Structure 1
């Protein structure tokens, strides 16, 4: 595994305590901070929607501890994985997780900020670029998050920096995949539309009778096909089960998510 940095590698000892989670029915072992932000449903859905082939390159902007990359590696063996993460503690965990899951030889984790831009990372263009960007770019829009969660919730450079790095990281015909708040859909489409098209949108609803709170957005760089609106994924029903049958199959790695 290659280690690289475009930011100073300083790790706060308070952030080094970790817990281990089992994902995809135990196929993935993931070390995450004992305190602070931990990846969950959004990361699982994003990874489930990647339909990459062996030998392809995938780039994740804001990879955190590697939850998406490790699940993608388990679902799509033989990929070349690159993650960019500005938090040195999270980047260090992502490297440990690559070791833990036996994909260190195909994984590069770079400590750096999305605002740096892809061109400054000295990396080849990719086939897929994915991201679960911070959901807010205005700290007054929500109660101040704890320091350990701030980086995951607040996009200091706004959505523009995130869409820019995704667009610049893929070759023509490459896929861009994001998960975000449903109420930011129009903003994201507007930002991606300059260099991408062939949009596919998958709403994610908490219940069948409630509006979508998340959307998965797939775009093709230089794509020209009409926009496709997929049937919604419903996460819960009123049966008392934790998830719907469809959602549970996706979370366990027994089914893919088509976007």
Structure 2
């Protein structure tokens, strides 16, 4: 597999990714920035790909125990390599979410995070490259991602998901009866436009009321103005400096 190396967090992390296949963008960085983790806690990433979200989180919060699950062997191998190159420890298991290895089924985690495939292939066209399709086409039901996250959480642990806004009803339905204290943080591309991504957090055993936060505005202005970067200062700090998103517990 041919790979390229890409800088994340303004060069603080270097991530090797397939040239042809799924390539991480800003979404896993936003996911990592939304996790309310503290030093000494444990984190499980479902569908970790090449490790971008876990490693961004590990860079922001020192002393985490990071574990990932990835179904594609080549991506799992890249995740291990990326962790080593960036001076982090990331334990990666090659497995399907529906059949986690016994060693993981015996463990509980303070946080479970996931950036599941976005696209329901009953209403969209599959990608031609197999690795990209596995990462983007929803073969495993979203409800199974949520159920797996809830089962692997320790009591009072947090599950954090990023997904497309139109799938929010499906996520909330999957959370119901499994995770409480649900919060939603919309990501709005520009003023006057609908949010196209949502960050959703739930807590195992949580009893707080549902919270829908004001959206985070990603870009300045109402339209794209040339090739210059137009991120807001708040979002630039997340993407460049690895700061946390304003997503209170």
- What TM bracket, shorter-length normalisation? over 0.9
Q: What SS does structure 2 have at the residue aligned with 1:252?
A: helix
**Residue segments in structure 1 that go unaligned for 5+ positions in a row:** 1-15
| From 173, 198, 207, the counterpart of 2:156 | 173
The yes-or-no answer on 1:183 pairing with 2:171 is no
- Work out the CA distance in 2 between the residues paired with 1:133 and 1:254: 22
- Work out the CA distance in 1 between the residues paired with 2:242 and 2:86: 19
> Taking structure 1 as the reference length, what is the TM-score of the superposition?
0.89
The yes-or-no answer on 1:100 pairing with 2:85 is yes
CA shift, 1:118, in A, is: 7.1
| From 2, 22, 38, the counterpart of 2:7 | 22
- The farther-off stretch of 233-242 and 178-187 is 233-242
1:180-230 CA distances to partner (integer Å, 9 max, x unpaired)? Answer: 011111111111121211011100111121011110001101100011111
- Work out the CA distance in 2 between the residues paired with 1:210 and 1:119: 45
The yes-or-no answer on 1:247 pairing with 2:230 is no
Count of paired positions: 241
Aligned twin of 2:18: 33
The yes-or-no answer on 1:149 pairing with 2:137 is no
Aligned twin of 1:8: none
Aligned twin of 1:230: 213
CA shift, 1:242, in A, is: 2.9
Change (3 A) 1:169 1:119: farther
**Contact 2:60–2:242 (CA<8 Å) still a contact in 1?**
no
Change (3 A) 1:99 1:172: same
Instruction: After TM superposition, list the pairs within 5 Å mapping 1:9-88 onto structure 2.
Output: 16-88=1-73
**Contact 2:147–2:178 (CA<8 Å) still a contact in 1?**
no
- Work out the CA distance in 2 between the residues paired with 1:231 and 1:167: 26
Change (3 A) 1:206 1:103: same
When the two chains are superposed, the root-mean-square deviation of aligned CA atoms in Å is 1.6
- The farther-off stretch of 210-219 and 146-155 is 146-155
**Residue segments in structure 2 that go unaligned for 5+ positions in a row:** none
- Work out the CA distance in 2 between the residues paired with 1:87 and 1:255: 30
- Work out the CA distance in 2 between the residues paired with 1:175 and 1:118: 22
Change (3 A) 1:165 1:208: same
**Contact 2:126–2:137 (CA<8 Å) still a contact in 1?**
no
1:144-197 CA distances to partner (integer Å, 9 max, x unpaired)? Answer: 212231011112121121111111110110000000011111111111121211
1:15-56 CA distances to partner (integer Å, 9 max, x unpaired)? Answer: x21111111111111111111111111111001111211111
| From 188, 201, 209, the counterpart of 2:192 | 209
